[in-house]
Amino acid sequence: MTFGDKLAKAVEAYGPLCVGIDPHPSLLEAWGLSPTAEGLERFALTAVEAFGGKVAMVKPQAAFFEAYGSRGVAVLERVIAELRGSGTLVLVDAKRGDIGSTMAAYAQAYLGDGSPLAGDAVTVSPFLGFGSLQPALDTARATGRGVFVLALTSNPEGAQVQRSVAPDGRTVAQTIIDFATARNSGISPCGDVGLVVGATIGETDVDLSGFNGPILAPGFGAQGGSVADLKRLFGPDMRNVFPTSSRDVLKHGPDVSSLVSAVQRVQQSL
């Protein structure tokens, strides 16, 4: 199956929601857990129990696992394996971006068959040039996985780069979108190159009309993004838009049933 096939099947089963697993120290504390590898593991596996087989896609934030060194990375590997085993798609939020052989190594780590860190997709940064992502794009297509490319992020500093205007008159964000659109051209039901466009950015000021790929919309829920914001940004047809809710759901832990109920409420609101 292509990544687009997998996405379509997941959305049909669960709706277009992506839930994040962000083991932030404050959340561990709120759950009564210690900020240790043991606390991380209990937090993450509780989230896996609550979300696995119940949502279209889960997005573990790699940095919060890496903060605990090799033991944290081992927990991330287990999270990826157990989520994939449940039938839920896994988007590893690693935001990798580099050039040449280094990018090829990142691609093998997060998109290569047999790698314990490989989910179904990974977030990548294009700000060394969209062409620098070629190893990831090629590996994703060869293995039936996807990449989500940062385009318009919700952090205020992002505008300094993403809304800058290139010599041809397009913004950097539009250039990224156009490259992604070309890469997905002719692929059905949708391409394997997705975009990250924040749900709280205000106005996009870009043309997404020809884009044939998934859009990850972080910032939904606790960060202020609403269903109205999503429809304003992306239009009423949001089949390929994946609102992402992380801490707004995770705050209902550590009780698994409460986490499941929180997910269901968000799914019903979309």
Catalytic residues: 95
Residue 42: how many other CB atoms lie within 10 Å: 19
**Alpha-carbon distances of 206 from 63, 91, 126, 177, rounded to whole Å:** 30, 25, 17, 8
| Angle at 154 (CA atoms; ends 229, 245), nearest 5 degrees | 65
- At 243, the amino acid letter reads P
State the distance between the two ends of the chain, measured CA to CA, in whole angstroms: 27
Burial of 134 (0-12, 13-18, 19+ CB in 10 A): middle
CA-nearest of 209, 204, 194 to 59 is: 194
For residue 148, the 8-state DSSP code is: E
Q: Is 171 helix (H, G, I), strand (E, B) or coil?
A: strand
